[in-house]
A = this chain, B = another copy of it.
Amino acid sequence: MKSFREELWIEVPSRRGFVNITADVARAVEQSGIREGFCLVNSMHITSSVYINDDEGGLFQDYEKWLEELAPHAPPSRYEHNRTGEDNADAHLKREILGREVVVAITAGRLDFGPWEQIFYAEFDGRRKKRVLVKIVGE
């Protein structure tokens, strides 16, 4: 059994944004030398997500609008969490919709994906450096 670990550092310059991290994860799989196994990719923060979907610009706008409808940012006073002095309660909620992590199969040394699957980091409380963990276990 082999294991491999890497942290990706990401800084989204605005409060919210989407970053395609597929190439970074694919590079980690290659470096790991692992041919068969699983690759876990998770946000190490609790106000951002890692998820798999389509790399299409209109869809990012749809996600942005939809998540803002489901868990609005304003007014910050609507959330108890923001009494701590934070204004990011909505980010904790939005992250639950898209999820913390993905697990991807590694087959023959590659991410075992359908034709349109791409891995994204979704930021809901940006403007600072944050980390994504890539952990690969297999043989």
A40 lies within 8 A of chain B by Cβ? yes
The answer to whether B83 and A116 touch across the interface, beta carbons within 8 angstroms, is: no
Q: Mark A36-75, 1 if CB is under 8 A from B, else 0.
A: 1110101111100001111011110111001000110000
A13 CB to nearest B CB, Å: 21
- Bound together, the chains give a CA A115 to CA B43 distance in angstroms of 11
B102 and A131: CB pair below 8 A? no
Size category of the binding interface on chain A: 35 or more
> Of B56, B61, B103, which is within 8 A of A40 by CB?
B103
Partner of A100, one of B36, B51, B59: B51
Residues of chain B within 8 A (CB-CB) of A102 are 100-101
Bound-complex Cα distance A139 to B40 (A)? 16
The digit string for A80-117, where 1 denotes a CB below 8 A from any CB of B, is: 11111000010011011111111111010000111111
Task: List 21 A-B pairs, Cβ < 8 Å.
Answer: A1-B37, A3-B107, A36-B137, A37-B137, A38-B38, A38-B40, A38-B137, A40-B103, A40-B105, A46-B114, A53-B95, A57-B80, A58-B81, A58-B83, A59-B89, A59-B92, A62-B80, A96-B99, A101-B102, A103-B103, A137-B137
A-B pairs with lowest CB-CB distance, top 8: A44-B114, A58-B80, A105-B135, A3-B36, A58-B81, A59-B81, A61-B80, A1-B139
